[in-house]
Copies of this chain bind each other. A is one copy, B any other.
Amino acid sequence: MARKKKGLLIVVSGPAGVGKGTVNAALMQKHPEIRMSVSVTTRAPRPGEIEGVHYFFRTKEEFDRMIDEDAFLEYMHVFGMNYYGTPKAFVETERNKGNHVILEIDVQGAMKVKSRCPDAVLVFIAPPSLKVLKDRLVGRGTETQESIDVRTATALEELKKLPDYDYMVINDVVEEAVADMEAILSAELNRTARNQTLITKLTGGETI
């Protein structure tokens, strides 16, 4: 159905090294109507980072004001120092235009978004096995043995949260994972629960 309707909010989680970024980038390449959510942060921009593209950079005071104004879908402290948050406005504006918004976020954040946005679609990108994940982390050549052990242990804890997600996509072959994501988007758009206006028109004799 190509009919214009509210875009989807797709929450994507998965362990470090699983290839979330690769899958999402490939998906967005094929679908210009998909946007990546831009987070708000209190940390300083790194060289090359662009306001509104990589992050919205805000002071701690501005961030606190946004919390008071209920401007976040979810937010969190990192290391007790910097704040990160998902601004509601960006997500809603894009969805109302009919664009889909992908929110790459950890398991804890995903659960917060689900409770605030029950119509969000939760997708967990999983590796074909923990061993494959570990091999990929080793293959990066940038991780210490300790970091790899910590990440693998964290991955296992995250995988245990899989049943809290709507869908799981195994990232074995990237193209297949992208096709799985495309199918999820297409199917979700055809859910009757997302088409109540359309159903009302149809039963009222209108053409949709």
A147 part of interface (Cβ distance < 8 Å): no
B163, A199: Cβ atoms under 8 Å?
yes
A183 part of interface (Cβ distance < 8 Å): yes
Chain B proximity of A78: nearest CB distance (Å)? 26
From 137 to 170 in chain A, residues with beta carbon under 8 angstroms from any chain B beta carbon are: 156, 159-160, 162-170
A174 part of interface (Cβ distance < 8 Å): no
A180 part of interface (Cβ distance < 8 Å): yes
Closest B residue to A180 using CB positions: B190
B163, A196: Cβ atoms under 8 Å?
yes
Listed stretches A20-28, A37-45, A60-68, A200-208; interface member: A200-208
B residues near A1, Cβ cutoff 8 Å: 169-170, 176, 180
A192, B128: Cβ atoms under 8 Å?
no
B residues near A132, Cβ cutoff 8 Å: 207
In Å, the complex CA distance between A163 and B50 comes to: 44
Chain B proximity of A106: nearest CB distance (Å)? 17
B residues near A190, Cβ cutoff 8 Å: 167-169, 180, 183-184
A129 part of interface (Cβ distance < 8 Å): yes
B residues near A130, Cβ cutoff 8 Å: 202, 205
Instruction: Report if A156-B192 is in contact (Cβ < 8 Å); known contacts: A1-B170, A176-B1.
Output: no
B184, A129: Cβ atoms under 8 Å?
no
A30 part of interface (Cβ distance < 8 Å): no
Q: Find A129's partner among B3, B167, B206 (CB 8 Å cutoff).
A: B206
Closest B residue to A164 using CB positions: B192
A55 part of interface (Cβ distance < 8 Å): no
B residues near A187, Cβ cutoff 8 Å: 167, 180, 183-184, 186-188
Q: List 21 A-B contacts (CB under 8 A).
A: A1-B180, A128-B208, A129-B202, A129-B205, A130-B205, A131-B205, A131-B207, A132-B207, A159-B202, A162-B202, A162-B203, A163-B192, A166-B191, A167-B191, A168-B195, A180-B190, A183-B183, A183-B187, A183-B190, A184-B187, A187-B187
